[in-house]
Amino acid sequence: MKKILISGLVAGVILLLFSIAVLYLTIFLLPNLALQYYNPAFKSDNGSATLYFIHPFILSFALAWFWDRFKNQFGKAIWLKDLEFGLVYSIVATLPSMWIIYSAMNVTLEQVVTWFIYGLLQAAVAGIVFAKINP
């Protein structure tokens, strides 16, 4: 349990920094994509902005538990383990979520594809942390 908490906390901090970096990179590298977030489908009030910063911790603790439970099912090499971990999470959780979001909300395919890639990268980054702290 201690390894789950420690790896979840460390991964949460790293994912928070990663999410802020991706946010700024998106604005800088994909300004047209960033403009799409002015759509009324997205909340813009400041009250819910803190949820954005809490999300990496919720995700990292859930993934830390998942890692601890299934880490022996993944490949042996660390880089293969974290990549496979990211792919499993992306296929099981992110892909169905993106499918339903795209079908039910007024969002573009470009947004959904970037969210899917972002989810894959988040899980892979978390997998690296978990493989180092809780092999």
Q: pLDDT at residue 44 above 80?
A: no
pLDDT (0 to 100) of residue 7: 93
> What is the residue extent of each domain of the chain?
2-133
Find how far residue 85's CA is from the centre of its chain. 12
pLDDT (0 to 100) of residue 63: 93
> How does pLDDT run across 56-75, given as a tens digit for each residue?
999 999 999 999 988 888 87
CB atoms inside a 10 Å sphere around CB 84? 16
pLDDT (0 to 100) of residue 43: 66
Mean pLDDT of the chain: 87
30: CB partners within 8 A, 6+ apart: 114
CA distance 103 to 97: 10
* Closest of 65, 59, 126 to residue 94, by C-alpha: 59
